[in-house]
Amino acid sequence: MRLDGRNEKRVPLAIPVCLVVAEKLLVADQAMTVNVSSQGARIITRRRWLPEEQPRLASSSGELLTPAKVVYCESLTNGYFCIGLQFLSAILDWKPMLRFQS
């Protein structure tokens, strides 16, 4: 039995992404992944997200990838926030996201 709530290990990976507010597709929050798995990600963002909010995770080029659910939001000391996302449909391969890095 796993006590940390995760089914798979996350991999450290810094990828620029956008979090698009599901109800307002024109509102996007520029963010950066800290670690990822096929089921979720830890992300640094400027916006405070509420648990249960459901943004769409997109590549920095704007290509929508997957809907997600905010599991937690932690305040950081520098005015940023760290959120945990649970993907509502799995991302099986992060390699396409890497091609958008500069």
> Domains in the chain, please, with CATH?
11-90 (2.40.10.220)
d(CA 11, CA 38): 10
Residue 100, pLDDT > 60, answer no
pLDDT in tens, 13-63: 999 999 988 676 667 889 999 999 989 999 999 999 999 999 999 887 766
Residues 6+ apart with CB under 8 A from 65: 56, 57, 58, 59, 91, 97
Question: Tokens 């990838």 sit at which residue?
Answer: 65
d(CA 16, CA 63): 12
